[in-house]
Amino acid sequence: MSFNKNIHNMAVLVEFLAGAGLAIFFHVVLHAPEVAYTIFGIGILLSLATYLLREDIDTTRQELIDQYHQAHELTFAIARINNEECHAKALEILSGIKGSIGQLQQGFIPLTETEFYLASAKCSDLISRQLKSVDPISNDWHTRGALVNYYQSNLRALARGVDITRIFVMNQEELDHPYTQKILLSQYCDGIEVRIAFREELPTATNTSERNTNSAFDFAIYDDEVATEVFPKSGTYFGKKTCQADNMEKYIRFYELIRHSSYSVTVKDERITLASDPGKADATLSNHIADVKLPKQPKPSKPPKANH
């Protein structure tokens, strides 16, 4: 590198000396001072241009080399691993990193379990209008510390006047389980709009073309601006967060599909029961139609009697 730089410096010097020598030749031997000055000026300009161009090429070359090494740093590091088992583990780790980068490219931030519930609690503390949530039914609401802290942030949001709707996803036989009733009743009494959706009735990727068939139905939307979702499969990361507009549009649309398939609830004998069923809307509509009073039709007038 140093040798090449010296050669480039010598080339600039030679170019300058050649221009100066030609100028002296024209001035002293040929007695043409105007031509000599012109040649000398052109020689100086060419030398300066060569020097600046060489510096720019060297700077660009060094930047490209640095970018190349940075782009292939992991590849070079893995290539230096000689042990086959270690090399296989390194490739596995690299595959996971590629998956995380893919999530980031799509506008999702992968989060560990602690980071996920911390981010969810912060979002809950910052909202001012509405929280829309879809969650699987589980006993973790009363046992897992991170989830309990998240629920406390929900209660603080309720105290600020935020509307919270939570759709619990379950199988039909789970509705009568004691732990299910405990969770539903406690959240219902706290002021959360509780709804129930049965898993077998929910939309899947087959009819939405947007979601994964392995969807855990476990996500929340904060003021229609931020969304968090739990990954359906276990792995390095527990969930993800996004605020990108196109991602938010998909979450909002999917939530509306789930809500359309869900049931409102009511309390009867200190138990949560469904307040609506698929046939109730039709019955209500029929009753409404029956109650509508049609305007009375005027009676036809009798023809006048003929005079005899």
pLDDT of the residue at 211: 40
| 170 strand-pairing partners | 198
For tokens 């910052």, name the residue: 126
Contacts for 233-237: CB closer than 8 Å, 24+ residues apart: 235/96, 236/96, 236/100, 236/110, 236/112, 237/100, 237/110, 237/111, 237/112
Beta strands in 112-245 (DSSP E): 130-136, 163-170, 193-198, 219-222, 226-230, 239-242
SS3 211: coil
pTM for the model stands at: 0.64
Q: Tokens for 209?
A: 């073309």
pLDDT of the residue at 123: 96
Q: Tokens for 142?
A: 């009363």
Instruction: Say which residues have a Cβ less than 8 Å from residue 25's Cβ, sequence separation at least 6.
Output: 36
Percent of the chain with pLDDT over 70: 74
pLDDT tens figures, 121-138 = 999 999 999 999 999 998
What is the CATH architecture of 108-277? 2-Layer Sandwich (3.30)
Highest mean pLDDT among 23-37, 47-61, 112-126, 203-217: 112-126
pLDDT of the residue at 135: 95
Name the least confident of 1-5, 169-173, 185-189, 258-262. 1-5
Distance between CA 18 and CA 40 in Å, rounded?
A: 9
